């Protein structure tokens, strides 16, 4: 039924059909108000009738699905064969052999987007001569840009700023969603009005990217095992979208991008943009805009002396300063960093930096501070001033660093929500207990039982308070032989805030699964010397997605996994287990396993018995692991052999 009628006419037309089995299709519903109007016109439908609603707006689909308890079907991109088939269907006549290669090339540029393929096919349908087709082929990118413009105009208001902001990144550059989230928040471009109750800003950013991916504007690379913190590893532009995005940014004076590897550049305040991205090179910027709010400096392994190019004193109102890959050795640029008193975001990720200036303590409005510098021979020196940054919400420490005046780095940071690379050998473990607003903790405990006990106590308190905390803990060289150590370990494993664990040390006996966090998604055990088969315990963990047992983490001779074991496991690695001789896997165990690596087991472990009906995707790194298939009366059974 096609209808563009008023609500009253729509109601009358539907009434004539409600006694029959019917299929109602409401195409391209763009608002909740439009759906409510349609819904009021629907009577109680005849048994067997269906309603199909299409929309390009996520929250409309979610509203309808929640209201009517129905599922949402998300469209996917087409592969190359389906793309060509769809193009030929739209064009409605078979192309000549001369044009087939042109079609293949043009359709490939559409990246599987049905809308873009249809747009191109409809235009070419009226073109009869080969010359016209060749002209379109030569200008395919122009058609893509035109289509991008149409798609951009159709984006909901809350998605347009998110897409435009991606113009800060190059076409082939992988974009960290967490970094994008911080930048959008600092710029005030995340609409809290669209946020669902209980949804974090990171969840919201992931949803935005998912919508842009659905519309074919970006590609997303999902995490192998999603966590509550991150759903995607990275995202990037779909081919052709970056050019449109950047040109749109510059047309609106939203952003200016400078490539100093190509030519010198001079800017004046009349140019207007408040956001500047500089790709450093052998050329210079003669003059910069003093009213800049955002400056991102990118370096591609070239020696550049920023002292002669930039003076931080000129950036009095800057809010975001992002250094990427900059070598600060023998440079004095950071001497004046205290003049950036309104700075809210500061990143040195991937930079070479020997020492952080103590004047950093003057940045009292700083919210995000990323110190994950390039790991070199010497550790970066951090002065004991971080505790003065009382408004700090997200702190990313370097993997290696040295403190000048003891461990008092993180006390008083009561607003902190994210703390990464917290090392108890460099920072006081007791400081964590003061961070009442912490939502993500990535910590390392090295051969120190009191610190391990302190971290465990904090995690247990957070569990009892139903805090939305996500803990990723790395325990190194801690042997839990004594009863006191073993007791604390059991308490630690039972903390529900524990999501990721690397434990390198002796355990001996693993707690039963009801006493291990059900939220554990990643587990690595190293030199743990488990004396009994741990699989019956680990296989019951409902969220476990990655399991690594290495260097005699297990010292038994046999492993058995039942038919219902490991429902969420995607990756299994068994490495250097010298005593293991036999592995037996039940018929329906590990239903979604996609990556398995088995290396350097016992010399007597010549064969691994696998009773399994699914097909593994085996990935191996050397010739010590050779999967083969044997036919058995009960069907095909994978058997893994190891060479002598």
Two tokens, residue 76: 């996917």
Query: If 0-12 CB within 10 Å is exposed, 13-18 middle and 19+ buried, where does residue 142 land?
Result: exposed
The CATH number of 155-244, from 1.10.3210, 1.10.3470, 1.10.10, 3.40.50, is 1.10.10
Confidence of residue 568 (pLDDT cuts 50, 70, 90): very high
Q: What is the CA radius of gyration of the chain?
A: 29
CB atoms within 10 A of CB 571: 17
Q: What is the mean pLDDT of residues 532-555?
A: 90
Give me the phi and psi of 473, to 5 degrees please: -120, 135
Q: What angle do CA 426, 394, 193 make, to 5 degrees?
A: 165
Contacts of residue 470, defined as CB under 8 A and 6 or more positions apart, other chains included, come to 227, 228, 229, 439, 440, 441, 497, 499
Q: Which residues contact 476 (CB under 8 A, 6 or more apart)?
A: 444, 445, 446, 447, 504, 505
**Token output for 485:** 């150590």
Query: What's the N-to-C CA distance of the chain in angstroms?
Result: 70
556 half-sphere exposure, CB direction, 13 A CA radius = 14
Identify the pLDDT of residue 515. Answer: 84
Token pair, residue 603, equals 């010399």
Percent of the chain at pLDDT > 90 equals 24
pLDDT at position 64 over 90: no
CB atoms within 10 A of CB 102: 18
Structure confidence at residue 363 as a pLDDT band (50, 70, 90): very high
Among residues 174, 172, 192, 193, the alpha carbon closest in space to that of 184 is found at 192
Does residue 109 have a pLDDT over 90? no
Per-residue pLDDT averaged across 17-30, rounded?
77
The string of pLDDT tens digits covering residues 420-437 is: 999 998 888 888 888 888
Q: How far apart are CA 643 and CA 626, in angstroms?
A: 8
Q: pLDDT, tens digit, for every residue of 461-479? A: 886 565 678 999 999 999 8
pLDDT tier for residue 268 given thresholds of 50, 70 and 90: low
d(CA 119, CA 101): 19
Closest alpha carbon to 133 in 145, 144, 141, 121: 121
Q: What is the pLDDT of residues 287-338, one digit of tens each?
A: 566 667 888 887 765 666 676 677 788 788 889 999 988 888 877 778 889 8
Distance of alpha carbon 225 from alpha carbon 203, whole angstroms:
15
Of 382, 378, 377, 379, give the one whose Cα is nearest residue 369. Answer: 382
Q: What is the pTM of this model?
A: 0.80
* DSSP annotation string for 133-189: HHHHHHTHHHHHHHHHHHHHHHS-TTTHHHHHHGGGS-TT--B-HHHHHHHHHHHT-
> What SS3 class is residue 619?
coil
Sequential DSSP letters for 209-234: HHHHHHTTSEEEEE-SS--SS-SEEE
Average pLDDT over residues 91-96: 73
- Here the tokens at position 440 are 């993500």
Number of CB atoms found within 10 A of residue 230's CB: 20
- The CA distances from residue 151 to 119, 154, 167, in Å, are 11, 5, 16
pLDDT in tens, 581-618: 888 888 888 988 888 888 877 666 655 555 454 444 44
Residue 343 · residue 365 · CB < 8 Å: yes
Confidence class of residue 265 from pLDDT cuts 50, 70 and 90?
Answer: low
- The overall average pLDDT reported for the chain is 80
Q: For residue range 194-213, what is the model confidence (pLDDT) as tens digits?
A: 666 767 888 888 888 888 88
- 3 state DSSP class of 439: coil
pLDDT at position 406 is 60
Please give the pLDDT value at position 234: 87
List pLDDT tens digits, range 219-262: 888 877 766 566 788 888 877 687 888 888 878 888 888 776 56
The encoded tokens of residue 380 equal 């970066």
Report the pLDDT averaged over residues 540-564.
91
**The predicted structure's pLDDT at residue 307:** 66
Mean pLDDT confidence for 391-397: 95
The maximal CA–CA distance of the chain, rounded, in angstroms, is: 85
> How far apart are alpha carbons 475 and 512 in whole angstroms?
20
Which pLDDT band holds residue 373 (cuts at 50, 70, 90)? very high
Q: pLDDT > 70: what percent of the chain?
A: 78
Q: What are the distances in angstroms from CA 130 to CA 122, 124, 135, 238, 287?
A: 16, 11, 9, 29, 51
pLDDT for position 617: 40
Q: Which residues contact 29 (CB under 8 A, 6 or more apart)?
A: 35, 38, 53, 54, 55, 60, 64
User: Which structure tokens are listed for 408?
Assistant: 């008092």
For CA atoms 586, 590, 593, 598, the dihedral sign is: negative
**Greater confidence, 151 or 565?**
565
- Do the beta carbons of residue 376 and residue 399 sit within 8 Å? no
Residue 154 has pLDDT above 70, yes or no: yes
Helix (H) or strand (E) holding 384: none
C-beta separation of 218 from 166 below 8 A? yes
Q: How far, in Å, CA of 404 to CA of 412, rounded? A: 18
Separation of alpha carbons 39 and 53, rounded Å: 11
Per-residue pLDDT at 636: 32
pLDDT given for residue 395 in this prediction: 96
Which candidate, 156, 144, 149, places its Cα nearest to that of 56? Answer: 156
CB neighbour list of residue 558: distance below 8 Å, 6 or more residues apart: 533, 580, 581, 582, 583, 584
Mean pLDDT of 450-458: 94
C-beta atoms surrounding 417 within 10 Å? 18
* Residue 501: closest CA among 489, 486, 483: 489
Domain locations in the chain as residue ranges: 7-68, 80-152, 155-244
Quickly list H helices, 349-471.
449-464
User: Which single residue is written with the structure tokens 């190293």?
Assistant: 526
Residue in 324, 369, 374 with CA at minimum distance from that of residue 344: 369
More confident call, 264 vs 358? 358
- Band (492; pLDDT cuts 50, 70, 90): very high
pLDDT at 91: 84
| Mean pLDDT along residues 167-182 | 86
Bridging pattern class, strands 558-561 and 368-370: unpaired
Rounded average pLDDT over 165-192: 86
Triad 336, 341, 346: Cα angle to 5°: 75
């Amino acid at each position: 039924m096609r209808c563009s009628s008023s609500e009253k006419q729509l109601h009358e037309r539907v009434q004539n059909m409600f006694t029959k089995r019917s299929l109602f299709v409401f195409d391209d519903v763009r608002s909740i108000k439009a759906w409510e109007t349609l819904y009021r016109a629907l009577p109680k439908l005849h048994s067997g009738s269906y309603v199909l609603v299409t929309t390009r707006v996520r929250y409309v689909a979610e509203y309808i699905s929640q209201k009517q308890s129905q599922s949402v079907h998300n469209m996917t991109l087409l592969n190359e064969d389906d793309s060509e088939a769809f193009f030929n269907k739209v064009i409605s006549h078979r192309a000549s052999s001369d044009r087939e290669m042109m079609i293949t090339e043009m359709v490939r540029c559409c990246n599987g987007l049905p809308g873009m393929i249809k747009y191109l096919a409809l235009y070419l349908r009226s073109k009869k001569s080969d010359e016209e087709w060749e002209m379109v082929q030569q200008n395919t990118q122009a058609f893509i840009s035109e289509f991008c413009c149409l798609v951009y105009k159709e984006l909901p208001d809350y998605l347009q700023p998110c897409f435009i902001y991606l113009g800060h990144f190059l076409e082939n550059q992988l974009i960290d969603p967490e970094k994008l989230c911080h930048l959008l928040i600092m710029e005030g471009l995340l609409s809290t009005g669209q946020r669902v109750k209980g949804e974090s800003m990171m969840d919201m950013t992931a949803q935005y990217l998912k919508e842009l991916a659905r519309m074919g504007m970006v590609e997303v690379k999902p995490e192998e095992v999603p966590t509550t913190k991150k759903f995607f590893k990275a995202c990037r532009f779909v081919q052709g979208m970056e050019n449109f995005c950047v040109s749109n940014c510059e047309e609106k004076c939203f952003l200016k991008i400078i490539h100093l590897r190509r030519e010198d550049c001079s800017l004046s305040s009349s140019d207007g943009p408040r956001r500047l991205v500089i790709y450093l090179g052998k050329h210079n910027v003669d003059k910069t805009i003093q009213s800049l709010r955002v400056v991102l400096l990118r370096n591609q392994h070239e020696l550049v002396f920023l002292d002669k190019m930039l003076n931080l004193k000129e950036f009095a109102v800057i809010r975001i300063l992002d250094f990427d890959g900059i070598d600060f050795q023998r440079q004095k640029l950071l001497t004046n960093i205290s003049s950036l008193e309104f700075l809210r975001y500061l990143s040195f990720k991937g930079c070479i930096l020997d020492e952080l200036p103590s004047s950093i303590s003057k940045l009292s409005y700083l919210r995000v501070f990323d110190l994950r510098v390039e790991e070199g021979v010497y550790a970066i020196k951090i002065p004991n001033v971080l505790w003065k940054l009382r408004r700090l919400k997200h702190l990313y420490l370097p993997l290696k660093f040295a403190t000048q005046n003891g461990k008092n780095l993180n006390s008083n940071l009561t607003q902190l929500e994210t703390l990464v690379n917290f090392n108890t050998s460099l920072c006081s473990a007791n400081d964590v207990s003061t961070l009442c607003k912490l939502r993500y903790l990535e910590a390392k405990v090295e051969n120190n039982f009191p610190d391990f006990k302190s971290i465990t106590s904090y995690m247990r308190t957070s569990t009892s308070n139903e805090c939305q905390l996500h803990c990723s803990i790395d325990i190194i060289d801690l042997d839990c032989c004594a009863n006191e150590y073993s007791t604390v370990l059991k308490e630690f494993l039972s903390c529900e805030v524990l999501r990721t664990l690397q434990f390198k040390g002796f355990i001996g006996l693993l707690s039963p699964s009801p006493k291990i966090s059900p939220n554990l998604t990643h587990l690595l055990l190293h030199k743990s010397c488990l004396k009994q088969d741990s699989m019956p315990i680990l296989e019951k963990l409902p969220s476990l997605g990655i399991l690594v047992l290495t260097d005699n983490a297990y010292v038994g001779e046999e492993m058995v996994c039942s038919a219902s074991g490991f429902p969420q496991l995607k990756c299994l690695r068994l490495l250097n287990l010298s005593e293991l001789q036999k592995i037996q896997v039940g018929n329906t165990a590990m239903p979604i396993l996609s990556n398995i690596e088995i290396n350097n087991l016992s010399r007597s472990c010549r064969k691994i018995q696998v009773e399994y009906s699914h097909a593994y995707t085996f990935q191996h790194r050397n010739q010590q692991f050779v999967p083969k298939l044997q036919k058995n009366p009960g069907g095909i059974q994978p058997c893994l052999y190891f060479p002598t």
